[in-house]
Amino acid sequence: MNLNIINKMNEDLPQVGVRTILNGEILFCYLRKYSIFLIFVAFLFFIYIGNRIDCELQISKIERLKRERQDLRYEAVEVSSKLIRFTRRTNVINHLNAKGSQLRESSISPIVIE
């Protein structure tokens, strides 16, 4: 039974010789026989290329977002340190004195409620 299938497959192909190779008959027979398979392989090839391009775009976006996150983190640390420096007691008093404010530091210690 397997021999019948092999013989049937070989019936469609011409005899391999110099003449059939040079005139392109053997190439045409193979292309006609395997055309569906070749179309399927080309389809898979295009899907592979599309997925690779999409993956590269996602990787570049991830790298850009990592750099942006790092920049924002540095900026947050800088703003936080400026805020801490500005809200120190001595800096607040100096700033109020420079503006000519009437507010003064209390000389009486706070009362502890029991």
Is 77 part of any domain? yes
pLDDT of res. 13: 59
C-alpha–C-alpha distance, residues 101 and 94, integer Å: 10
Is 73 part of any domain? yes
pLDDT of res. 44: 97
How many domains does the chain contain in total?
1
- Is the predicted pLDDT of residue 87 greater than 60, yes or no? yes
Is 114 part of any domain? no
Contacts of 91 (CB under 8 A, 6+ apart): 85
Is 24 part of any domain? yes
pLDDT of res. 80: 94
Q: Which domain holds residue 40?
A: 12-99
pLDDT of res. 12: 59
Is 91 part of any domain? yes
Closest CA to 87 of 100, 79, 54, 70: 79
pLDDT of res. 23: 72
pLDDT top residue among 10 and 72: 72
**3: phi then psi, degrees, rounded to nearest 5:** -70, -35
Mean pLDDT confidence for 68-87: 94
Is 94 part of any domain? yes
Query: pTM for the whole thing?
Result: 0.54
pLDDT top residue among 8 and 40: 40
